Amino acid sequence: MRRIGGCYVLEEQIGGGATGTVWRAVDDSTGERVAIKLLRDELAGDPKIVMRFVQERAILTALSHPNVVRVRDLLTVGSSLGLVMDLVPGGSLRDRLRERRTLPPSEAAAILTGVAAALVEAHRQGIVHRDLKPDNVLLGQPEGSDPQARLTDFGVARIVDSPGLTTTGALVGTPNYLAPEVIDGGEPTPATDVYAFGVLLYELLVGRPPYAGGPSAAVLGRHLEHVPRRYEGIADAMWQVIEACTGKAPDRRPTAADLVDRMRALVVATAGLPALTPLPAEAAAVSSRPPGPRHARRGTSTGIARRAWPAALIAACLAVAGGALVFQWDSDRTRVAHRLAPRPESASTIAATPTAVASATASAVRRPAALAQAADRNHRPEAKERAYGPWRCGRFAWSFGQPAMAQPCHALGPAVRLSGKVRAMVGSRIDVTLKLVDAATGRAVAGPFLCRGLTFTERARERTCGGFEATPARGRRYTVVLTWQVPDQARALPGTARSDPFAW
């Protein structure tokens, strides 16, 4: 067992996801058992993921509802973070599906009544969950009891009509549950969650999502070009909800409040109906009937085939078989996909890929080579640059309560070059100081070098200070020290980051 945060003792890992692992723990001060989500160590240096993790606490603290997992505390655990939450004893909806594959319609409706109620409160506060799926629905009661669903993992949620932490145009979520308007480049809205709700209802009844199977590119293409196929045995009232939620036009979908009423009615109307036999793996779960003209999707963009970025998105998807994806602009402004962690989903053998996806993929495969050549031309070093070795940088340093992260760097050659990178929230304005320090004595041998008023925007979340040159005595070990502060804001904590000692 491992103690963290002063009074919490980790007992057993009970789950994991794209950004962290979940542990059952005990609070020594009260004896009460809790759940603690720890940010993965390899992600702690990424400020966007750290900020998203911190955002989870702020969002869940604002959400007070019986069907939402309550957040109790936020901890610093070394260089990482821990989120203390209520322990929900019944496991996840994904666990129940693994055991039983399909659920009776009345039980599915009862569980999703709670999910819809949680979405009502979230949408009322302008919050879109963005990643609704069985893994993020916890069951408050064990098997055989009245299931109280509790929605969790708002870490990738985005507050509607306010600047988000995700890069503009980013695609966040799990391919099996992504709404077509989000794949098409639109902003997530409450209707996005309603679409995932319909996919989830279908999965509970049939045993797998309607568009699952094959590479992620194929899955995304089916969301755009196909509709779910009605499986024999799905009650009329259930199918009407699925059709309404998974419609391609966001403004024609029901609201979460509508779904609460409809799910409650279905609990009674479907009582006694047995669970369906799981859909065979070789059976198609989608209809090839096209959804209609792309421009008929009200509130969406003009279509994936007319955009510049979907081709690269599809190519990136081909490299992953599933899991939660975060697509964002890289430093050279090309679209890239970062796979955060594998996530098991229902097995399926559907492999049909729409023609539009295939053609977009071919374009994407051709494009990176040209981009790489252009990047090489734009970054060809000058003669002076070649006289220096490569820049060497440590991990970004961050402490709880600070609005920025910093990374000192150095390069060796005719002199010692110093620079520092800083990443901060949009709208921040920061002063940076760099010094070269003797590692043995702690005395500054060069600097301070100043960069005042670095401003961070949506397009410039990372700024560099330097490089400066220093010529200290040879034969000694040195460290680059970067300090930063927010001018005119006494409450904003300053920060310091040090490079590893190096010889020159």
Cα separation, 233 vs 241, in Å, equals 15
For residue 466, give Cα distances in angstroms to 262, 423, 450: 60, 15, 9
- Which of 35-39, 101-105, 443-447, 491-495 is the least confident region? 491-495
Please report the pLDDT score of residue 386 as a whole number. 56
For residue 65, give Cα distances in angstroms to 136, 256, 465: 16, 15, 46
> pLDDT tens digits, residue range 462-502?
889 988 999 999 999 999 999 888 886 655 667 888 888 99
pLDDT above 60 for 16: yes
Radius of gyration of the chain (CA): 26
- Please state whether the predicted TM-score (pTM) of the whole model is above 0.85: no
Confidence of residue 351 (pLDDT cuts 50, 70, 90): very low
pLDDT above 70 for 243: yes
Confidence of residue 158 (pLDDT cuts 50, 70, 90): low
pLDDT above 80 for 334: no
The residue among 466 and 133 whose pLDDT is bigger is 133
Confidence of residue 358 (pLDDT cuts 50, 70, 90): very low
Tokens of 85: 């939450």
Domains of the chain: 2-86 (3.30.200.20), 93-292+300-372 (1.10.510.10), 385-503 (2.60.40)
Cα separation, 398 vs 378, in Å, equals 32
Confidence of residue 119 (pLDDT cuts 50, 70, 90): very high
The residue among 88 and 196 whose pLDDT is bigger is 196
The residues carrying an active-site annotation are 131
37 is in an annotated binding site: yes
Confidence of residue 4 (pLDDT cuts 50, 70, 90): confident
Q: Is the dihedral of CA 378, 383, 389, 391 positive or negative?
A: negative
